[in-house]
Amino acid sequence: MGILMVFEYILDPLHYSFMVRSLIVATLVGLMLPLLGAYVINRNLAFMGDALAHASLPSLVLGLLIGTSIFIAAIPAAIIVAVLVAYIFNKSDISEDTAVGIIFSSLFALGLILLSIYDEISFSLEDLLLGQLLAVSHADVLVTIYLTLLVIITLLIMHKQFLFSSFDPFGAKVMGLKVDLLNYLFLIILSLAIIGSLQSVGVVLVLSMLITPAATSKLLVSSFSGSMILGSAFGVMSAVTGLYVSYYLNFPSGPSMALTSTCVFVIVWVSGRILKYGQINK
């Protein structure tokens, strides 16, 4: 009886087409972001991930004004911001954190001003900041699928180059790798993944799904590839669980996914500390 009830809880939301679309997008976001999150943690680019999400706000508003998908509107802007930050960092004495801070704060402020000017925009600021996963369309699902495939294929092809340039950029240059070009490419892929996740978890919470599952996996495995795979597993589990929590408890979907990811991290971290304490006291 208990098993049947569990199946009923799992299958009941799937009677609604909007939940099926949301589940597909949540799964893809949970898969895609932690793959890149492993590199982001290794490269100390967490601030960059947050900045790319915030800097996309003006393009999201523009997309809403012209009536196109916010994904389609934000993709070119995110690529431009990623390239601009990398260019400023490579060609000037300004530190990367400083360049990122200047660009993302300015563009985010511009987006907020545009939202205040154009009252006809039906999309609320809360939806932009926290996500609106339950409102994804068929087009949004397709765009997320394409972006996820692009991210996975790029990482399969460029994994060794990204990894080498991350751990030893000087050695990579000596070996003939174009480290600057690899950095540009990685930031572009990261920006696309973030844009593909904005409608799920929003501008504010995208960093949680990018970093937390990857950080959780690093508590359990030491190999980089293993942490990528396990991080994606944690990401998918957190995204899907958070979506079901939001459905049954009437919570906002984006915060539910982000908080579930944090709960998984805390459980793994506390369990590890307890096991370590037990081994020391044997």
Residues 6 or more apart whose Cβ sits within 8 Å of residue 267? none
- Each residue's pLDDT, cut to its tens digit, for the chain (282 residues) gives 467 777 777 777 788 888 888 889 889 989 999 999 888 888 777 777 777 777 777 777 777 777 666 667 677 777 777 777 777 766 666 666 677 777 778 888 888 888 778 766 666 666 666 667 777 778 778 888 888 899 999 999 988 888 888 777 778 777 777 877 888 888 888 888 887 777 667 776 787 888 999 999 999 998 888 899 999 999 999 999 998 998 888 888 888 888 999 999 999 999 888 887 766 666
pLDDT at 87: 73
pLDDT at 94: 66
Cβ neighbours of 105 (radius 10 Å) = 13
C-alpha closest to that of 40 among 273, 212, 201: 212
235 near 33, Cβ under 8 Å?
Answer: yes
CATH code for the domain in which residue 41 is found: 1.10.3470.10
Cα 13 to chain centroid distance, Å, stands at 24
C-alpha closest to that of 203 among 266, 111, 69, 83: 111
Residue 124's H or E segment, with its range, is: none
pLDDT at 18: 83
3-state secondary structure 229-277: HHHHHHHHHHHHHHHHHHHHHCCCHHHHHHHHHHHHHHHHHHHHHHHHH
Provide the domain limits for residue 163.
2-280
pTM: predicted TM-score of the whole model, two decimal places: 0.84
- CA–CA separation, 265 vs 273, rounded Å? 12
C-alpha closest to that of 50 among 153, 167, 190, 154: 190
pLDDT at 267: 94
pLDDT at 264: 94
Number of domains the chain is built from = 1
pLDDT at 49: 73
Using the structure block, give the residue that is written with the tokens 């390239």. Answer: 83
Residue 45's H or E segment, with its range, is: none
CA Rg, the chain, in Å? 20
99 near 55, Cβ under 8 Å?
Answer: no
Q: Which amino acid is at 81?
A: V
pLDDT at 282: 61
140 near 69, Cβ under 8 Å?
Answer: yes
C-alpha closest to that of 246 among 230, 228, 236, 260: 260
Burial of residue 145 (number of CB atoms within 10 Å: 0-12, 13-18, 19+): middle
pLDDT at 265: 95
Structure tokens at 150: 């692009």
